[in-house]
Amino acid sequence: MEIKIFDTQEQLDSSAADIFVNLVNQKPNAVLGLATGSTPIGIYENLVNRFKQNKVSFKAASTFNLDEYVGLPPESDQSYAYYMHKHLFSHIDLPAAQIHLLNGMADDAEAECSRFETLLAKHPLDIQLLGLGHNGHIAFNEPNDQLSSRTHVIKLKEETINANARFFASADEVPTHAMTMGIGSILKANKILLVVRGADKAEIVKKALTGPITTQVPASLLQAHAGVTVLLDREAGRMLG
């Protein structure tokens, strides 16, 4: 596991964007696993700028997003589909047919997860971008005695609903369920890029990267993957020795 700590957010975002740009320039049809949340916004801004400067093209690339809330349509500005279009897809040359998102409005959420997992199996991820939840979740794989390997529906923990309430009018409006890639779907990616910022995540960063591997800290399972790069700001990395 390679861990890099940055003094500024600009450096961190630019370094993460470099990894994506270099990959896509080397392998134009790369399959990119993408994430949402506040952490990747600056990385997407960087990617959009590189595209506008003709330093990269996403014409042949394809993307898979980690997760989506159950019950939110893509037009809802709280949905992850909306977020991805707003921050990345609408600004670059990635063809719509090569964007893979979970449909939060699917009548049969379990069938939607299977559809997604089947597509993922056909398009192995070259890289998966991840943020980290305060409770150690990655995507929406919440701490539990057992974790699901493949894409599945999950009931969100109260702490996750509260953490994500800042994006909604109130905690009552945060959906109670989500669809998420499973830990196995994520660990199949050739490379994993975990990006974490902020003092409030320092403790969980330490547990996830240096603590025992446990389903109670889903991100700790990343320790078992040979191709993980972790990008941290000073605050998030301050408890690492």
Residue 31: alpha-carbon gap to chain centroid: 14
List, in order, residues 6 or more apart from 201 with CB less than 8 Å away. 132, 134, 235, 236
| Residues between 132 and 151 that touch ligand GLP (CB under 6 A) | 132-133, 139-140
Question: d(Cα 38, Cα 233) in Å, to the nearest integer?
Answer: 14
Binding segment for ligand GLP (CB under 6 A), chosen from 30-38, 46-54, 109-117, 222-230, is: 30-38
Q: Which member of 16, 17, 35, 230 binds ligand GLP (CB under 6 A)? A: 35
Inter-residue contact 99 to 63 (CB < 8 Å): yes
Decide if residue 232 touches ligand GLP (CB under 6 A): no
- Least Å from the CB of residue 190 to ligand GLP: 19
| Residues between 56 and 85 that touch ligand GLP (CB under 6 A) | 66-67
Question: d(Cα 178, Cα 180) in Å, to the nearest integer?
Answer: 6
Q: Which member of 160, 182, 185, 204 binds ligand GLP (CB under 6 A)? A: 160
The first and second tokens of residue 75, run together, are: 């037009």
Closest CA to 31 of 68, 67, 80, 64: 64
Binding segment for ligand GLP (CB under 6 A), chosen from 42-50, 100-108, 121-129, 131-139, is: 131-139
| Residues between 83 and 112 that touch ligand GLP (CB under 6 A) | none
Q: If you search the block for the tokens 């890289």, which residue do you land on? A: 127
Residue 40 or 56: the one with the smaller Cβ distance to ligand GLP is 40
> In 27-79, which ranges are continuous DSSP H helix?
41-52
Query: Among all residues, which ones are annotated catalytic?
Result: 67, 135, 137, 142
Q: If you search the block for the tokens 């057992």, which residue do you land on? A: 146
- Least Å from the CB of residue 164 to ligand GLP: 6
- Applying CB under 6 A, the residues found at the interface with ligand GLP are 35-39, 66-67, 131-133, 139-140, 160, 164
